[in-house]
A and B are shown apart, each in its own frame.
Chain A
Amino acid sequence: MIIDVLITLVKILFILAVTVGFFAPVLTWVERKQSAIMQDRIGANRADILGFRALGLFHIIADALKMFTKEDFIPQGANKTLHTMAPILALVPALLTFAVVPFGGEYSLFGKKVNMVISDLDVGLLFVFAIASLSTYGYVIAGWSSNNNWSLLGSMRTSAQMISYEVTLGLTVIGVLMVYGTMKLTEIGAAQESFFHWGIFLQPLGFFMFLAASIAENKRIPFDNPEAESEIVAGYFTEYSGLKFGMFFMAEFIEMVTIGALVTILFFGGWHFPFISSAALLSIFDFLGTTGANIIVMLFHIGVFFAKVCIFIWLQMTIRWTLPRFRYDQIMKLGWKILLPMSLANILVTGLVLLVIS
């Protein structure tokens, strides 16, 4: 019993360390540096400690210091409680999603089956969408409590956009559910052990729609209408400064990791490396004993999983720095007139094919 609690605690700490401790700060650096390299520039590299620049990695520390020391400003006439609560409401759902996202398979360590997921819910995918739509409240409350016209406009756009794209997001995932016949993310991951059973081969259209809809959910360019600097200052977080602003930023970056993890689990084979099954790996490292072989396979799978997540984060960054942003009506048109019918058609085709095969 106590060991179970300990194992869960270790997993939670691991996920927190990876997302909040590693990905969120490093992605601020990656965002600058990758955009620079893509545009034939050099990018942030001026912050140094004793002359060491380390490719501009110290800008992360500089950013954090700046955010900590900045004035925490609450505008006049703003609702103080809600204004403080909103960034927390935005950040927590982004982190909570990771509770059901598996980052490895099942391994027997010291005679105990250990699952590489914090909580293996039967309704894993539903939980993901339930929590993800909760974050809308954070953004809406942020805009409303700021007592600022632009913020309110931004938050209204957020809610409209999130609601429109959540429909598509849910419907595209139904195709995946139909193919694998389960809502457990661990089982979906485990079903993709052989290379040609990856979701991308079974649901190619679903992948593109899922990626588009989830980038829209994350409110990044090309779907950045809620923040639209050129139209409504900075949207819902216009009136935020210091660490509260940083929390909105962190929520965005953690959501990027979440999207990467979900795409990996649903469409790109989760923790499986193509053509190398875990049974084969276990037999290779058999000379280390069951536990030793399992530990090596576990580390390999976690590494593969996060490498895939990094690839999808790179893809999201590339999309963000390649495409121009949509107008508001174009976003709505894309969501309701193109993606929604396409996702419905995807379900229809998937169902027909499944019927024919069975």
Chain B
Amino acid sequence: MAYYVNRNIKMTWWERVYLPEIFRGLYITSRHFFLNLFGFIPFFLGRKKERPIFTVYYPEQTVKYPAAYRGRPVLALNEKGRPNCVACGLCEIACPAYCIDIVPAENTGKQNEVERWPKEFTIDYAVCIFCGFCEEACPEEAIFMSDDCEISMLDRKKMKYDLQQLLVPISELKDRVEFTRKMYAKWNY
């Protein structure tokens, strides 16, 4: 569909004179300037600040990302101090970038122990595309997209995280766990 810009805007005489409109603009910008410069004066008079400065000093301060944010995938460490993962390999298959690599280990007959666990679990963040398919495929609530996105490095080899580096206590992932339960419940997995 063609899109036309209306170039024939009818301006009033006052607007066409142009100088008053300049003064209006200057008034708005200088109001912001003085309110931000001496913003504490109206604050003392009991008035609210017109618009607070919303700059975040990034490396020192960070904003909390929403639960739907897909940062780096991590493995959840449950309350017993073990990964939830049973090394089924579904995430490995679901991964479109082939960045997950699992070597499973099995219980050889010990009672009251987990049956399967990953011996090695590596994710190469240099390859990962942060699609979240691994999280969707996981039947055990073991792998989650965390809100951590600060994984830039100078060395590509260091971007390959092994099992110990991937583990994150599940208490830190509560929001995301709830979000995934809500989200993927729709499909009745």
Contact count band on B = 10 to 19
Is A10 in the interface zone, CB < 8 Å from B?
Answer: no
Is A208 in the interface zone, CB < 8 Å from B?
Answer: yes
Q: What is the CB-to-nearest-CB distance from A236 to chain B, in angstroms, rounded to a whole number?
A: 27
Is B181 in the interface zone, CB < 8 Å from A?
Answer: no
A37-B37 contact given A42-B53, A42-B55, A208-B19, CB 8 Å threshold: yes
Is B182 in the interface zone, CB < 8 Å from A?
Answer: no
Q: What is the CB-to-nearest-CB distance from A222 to chain B, in angstroms, rounded to a whole number?
A: 9
Measured in the bound complex, the distance between the Cα atoms of B26 and A1 in whole Å is 50
Is A70 in the interface zone, CB < 8 Å from B?
Answer: no
Contact with A along B15-57 (1 / 0, CB 8 A): 0000100100110111011001100000000000001111100
A318-B30 contact given A40-B51, A323-B22, CB 8 Å threshold: yes
Picked from A37, A42, A318, the residue with its CB within 8 Å of the CB of B26 is: A318
Contact with B along A318-333 (1 / 0, CB 8 A): 1101110000000000
Measured in the bound complex, the distance between the Cα atoms of B52 and A319 in whole Å is 23
Is A28 in the interface zone, CB < 8 Å from B?
Answer: no
* Residues in A whose Cβ lies below 8 Å from that of B22: 319, 322-323
Q: Which residues 130-189 in B have Cβ within 8 Å of A in the complex?
A: none
Q: What is the CB-to-nearest-CB distance from B182 to chain A, in angstroms, rounded to a whole number?
A: 36
Contact with B along A149-190 (1 / 0, CB 8 A): 000000000000000000000000000000000000000000
Measured in the bound complex, the distance between the Cα atoms of B26 and A351 in whole Å is 32
* Residues in B whose Cβ lies below 8 Å from that of A208: 19
Is A194 in the interface zone, CB < 8 Å from B?
Answer: no
CB contacts between A and B, total, < 8 Å: 36
Of chain B, the residue at the smallest CB distance from A315 is B26
A34, B53: Cβ atoms closer than 8 Å: no
* Residues in B whose Cβ lies below 8 Å from that of A319: 22, 26
Measured in the bound complex, the distance between the Cα atoms of B31 and A39 in whole Å is 11
Q: What is the CB-to-nearest-CB distance from A316 to chain B, in angstroms, rounded to a whole number?
A: 11
Of listed A40, A208, A323, residue having the most chain B CB within 10 A: A40
A323, B25: Cβ atoms closer than 8 Å: yes
A38, B19: Cβ atoms closer than 8 Å: no
Is A112 in the interface zone, CB < 8 Å from B?
Answer: no
Picked from A37, A42, A323, the residue with its CB within 8 Å of the CB of B33 is: A37
Measured in the bound complex, the distance between the Cα atoms of B31 and A38 in whole Å is 8
A41, B53: Cβ atoms closer than 8 Å: yes
Contact with B along A40-67 (1 / 0, CB 8 A): 1110000000000000000000000000
* Residues in A whose Cβ lies below 8 Å from that of B36: 37-38, 40
B53, A38: Cβ atoms closer than 8 Å: no
Of chain A, the residue at the smallest CB distance from B57 is A42
* Residues in B whose Cβ lies below 8 Å from that of A42: 53, 55
A38-B32, A322-B22 known; 13 new pairs, CB 8 Å cut-off, are A37-B32, A37-B36, A38-B29, A38-B33, A40-B36, A40-B51, A40-B52, A41-B53, A41-B55, A42-B55, A318-B26, A318-B30, A322-B28
- Residues of B whose CB lies within 8 Å of any CB of A are 19, 22, 25-26, 28-30, 32-33, 36-37, 51-55
